[in-house]
């Protein structure tokens, strides 16, 4: 059975998330080199767009792979790769439309005598005034139902992945020009107000809303970014004109154990292997 290269009692649990924009292409461009240096324990992957066999072949025998592929070939797909075996995993979000969409995967891991639940999710990008946006809202509605159930299931839960919404103005470089664009619509951001609290609430991101914590914003504070996605086009990456749409949302007990948060932004445009950057968090459990 694959095991962690380091004892879980001597170092924090390192959980990372990345939208690969197609894992086979990402590995061709250098994802494997990144992964080899980061000592990750649990890796949540979105937009896999490959078979389970492909993932196993790319990551190698030291990883345990859970995969929820989309029925539509070449689209979506989420996975969780871990150094230790999950005790149980689930793929149902609670809405029949999403059971085969490759967008939601839960797994429970025993870590130092406690259960840590990890959810890899890929929220729809949406498109204003189209069925795609309706589908996105339906998915977010299902998340609002599922999150309290997860919190009741375990004190330590993290929902991570490409959530395709910038919650606050700090989460997008040119926010004023994007308020009518999918990803920064007031209606979309209101879902995050429900989850984390609105920014004008005294206990925003510290018990407001459904009580979840945006680990990235907690670590970064009131500042722009750190962004996690940049268009391939133009000078967006070089000018850091990005969006922070990749999150780790944690229950308060798990968020309290965070000791490090990093966005692994590539050093240069030609070193990118995805249009997203990995989000890496260490939890001292």
* pLDDT 10s digits, 125-153: 999 999 999 999 999 999 999 999 999 99
To the query of whether residue 162 is one of the catalytic residues in this protein, the response is yes
Q: Please report whether residue 261 resides in a domain.
A: yes
Tell me the two tokens of residue 43: 């890796």
Domain annotation covers residue 138: yes
Catalytic entry in 109, 122, 191, 283:
122
User: Considering the domain boundaries, does residue 3 fall inside one?
Assistant: no
Q: How far apart are CA 285 and CA 257, in angstroms?
A: 6
Measured CA to CA, the distance from residue 50 to residue 86 in angstroms comes to 21
CATH code for the domain of 227: 3.60.10.10
The sheet with strand 42-46 has its strands ordered as: 64-68, 78-82, 42-46, 13-19, 279-283, 258-263
Asked if the structure places residue 132 within a domain, the reply is yes
Q: List the one residue out of 106, 197, 125, 224 whose CA is nearest residue 165.
A: 125
Please check if 164 is assigned to a binding site: yes
* Cα gap 33→193, rounded to integer Å: 37
pLDDT digits (tens, 9 = 90+) for 45-81: 999 999 999 999 999 999 999 999 988 777 899 999 9
Residue 22 lies in a domain: yes
Q: For residue 131, tell me if it sits in a domain.
A: yes
Domains: count for the chain: 1
Q: 210 pLDDT exceeds 80?
A: yes
Rg (CA), the chain: 18
Average pLDDT over residues 204-224: 96
Flag whether 276 is marked binding. yes
Domain that holds residue 275: 13-283
Residue 5 lies in a domain: no
Kindly name the residue from 193, 247, 276, 283 that is annotated as catalytic.
276
The answer on whether 187 is annotated among ligand-binding residues is no
In a domain, 1, yes or no: no
Catalytic one of 41, 108, 162, 171: 162
Determine the average pLDDT of the residues in 5-32: 88
If one counts every other C-beta atom within 10 angstroms of the C-beta of residue 203, the result is 10
Q: Is 275 a known ligand-binding residue? A: yes
């Amino acid at each position: 059975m694959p095991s962690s290269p380091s004892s879980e009692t001597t170092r924090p649990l390192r959980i990372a998330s990345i939208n690969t924009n197609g894992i086979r292409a990402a590995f061709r461009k250098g994802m494997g080199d990144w992964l080899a240096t980061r000592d990750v324990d649990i890796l949540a992957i979105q937009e896999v767009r490959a078979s389970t066999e492909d993932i196993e072949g790319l990551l190698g025998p030291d990883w345990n792979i859970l995969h929820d592929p989309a029925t539509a070939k070449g689209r979506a797909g989420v996975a969780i790769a871990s150094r230790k075996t999950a005790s149980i995993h689930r793929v149902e979000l609670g809405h029949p439309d999403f059971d085969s969409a490759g967008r939601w995967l839960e797994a429970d891991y025993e870590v130092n005598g406690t259960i840590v639940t990890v959810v890899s999710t890929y929220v729809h990008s949406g498109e204003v005034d189209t069925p795609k946006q309706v589908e996105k809202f339906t998915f977010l509605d299902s998340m609002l139902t599922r999150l309290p159930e997860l919190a009741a299931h375990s004190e330590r839960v993290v929902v991570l992945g490409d959530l395709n919404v910038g919650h606050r103005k700090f989460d997008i470089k040119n926010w004023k020009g994007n308020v009518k664009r999918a990803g920064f619509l007031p209606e979309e951001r209101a879902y995050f107000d429900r989850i984390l609290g609105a920014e004008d609430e005294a206990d925003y991101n510290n018990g407001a809303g459904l009580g979840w914590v945006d680990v990235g914003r907690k670590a970064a504070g009131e500042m722009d970014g750190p962004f996690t996605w940049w268009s391939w086009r133009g000078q967006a990456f070089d000018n850091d004109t990005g969006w922070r749409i990749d999150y780790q949302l944690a229950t308060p007990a798990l968020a309290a154990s965070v000791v490090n948060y990093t966005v692994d932004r590539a050093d240069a445009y030609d070193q990118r292997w995805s249009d997203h950057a990995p989000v890496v968090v260490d939890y001292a459990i």
